[in-house]
Structure 1
Amino acid sequence: MTKTGILSTLLLTATLATGGALFAGSHAIASDRSAAPSQRSEWLSIQDVLQRLEATGYRNFEEVERESDGYEVKATDPDGRRVELDVHPVSGEILKTEVKRDKHD
């Protein structure tokens, strides 16, 4: 895990412990797929990404990583499956969902 991943996980844990990460935003940001990854000032914060995902039914956030082209989030989807999500850094839109297999299978 990268330093950014570790720091993100620690930040997530601290935020969830205080209850602040569970507040869903009251407005939506339009999708902007043309946003260049270098425009980080326009990126959603990790907390905002988690709020948006939780508002759509995701939970049990295990890991959040800020990648060069967006966010990668490991969580449980609304159907109870463990998933890895690629999330657009500006809109918060889920770009890709990969269902993780149970290690016991």
Structure 2
Amino acid sequence: MKTRTLILTLALGGGLLAGAAAVAPVFAQSDAAPAVRQDDGLSMPQIHDALTAAGYRNINAIERERNRYEVKASDADGRRVELSVDPMTGKVMKTETRRDRREEATRERRGSDGAK
């Protein structure tokens, strides 16, 4: 009976060692690997830097959508804008100006008073 237990223990131990050897390379990958694969495009910090260089300020939201980044920022004139940014190049594909709530309230008051 002892021989049988010894053989079973050795077989089980050998299987565990073989499994560990197969999995070890996965855990041995370097931490210096790039945060974003090259085919995924630019990272969020890279998008932030590209927009800052293009004159955008107060960048407070960058979200990755399917094939673009959506960014909320201020343009060079201080207007709040929502940008659609190409994830591969960092170029702005579309810009929407966001209206300020105070500006909208002023327009509504002027519209109801009939003043321009």
- Indicate the TM-score class for this superposition, using the shorter chain for normalisation: 0.5 to 0.7
Residue aligning to 1:41: 39
Find the partner of 1:74 among 72, 76, 79.
72
Q: What is the TM-score with the length of structure 1 in the denominator?
A: 0.60
Over the aligned positions, Cα root-mean-square deviation in angstroms equals 1.5
Question: In the alignment, is residue 89 of structure 1 matched against residue 63 of structure 2?
Answer: no
Q: What SS does the aligned partner of 1:44 have?
A: coil
Greater helix content? 2
Equivalent pairs, count: 67
Structure 2 residues without counterparts, runs of 5 or longer: 1-36, 105-116
Q: What is the TM-score with the length of structure 2 in the denominator?
A: 0.55
**Superposition map of 1:1-105 within 5 A:** 41-104=39-102, 105=104
> Could you say which structure has the larger radius of gyration?
2
Give, in angstroms, the shift of residue 40 of structure 1.
7.0
Identity across matched positions, percent: 48
Give, in angstroms, the shift of residue 103 of structure 1.
1.2
Structure 1 residues without counterparts, runs of 5 or longer: 1-38
- Between 1 and 2, higher relative CO (CA 8 Å, sep ≥ 6) is seen in 1
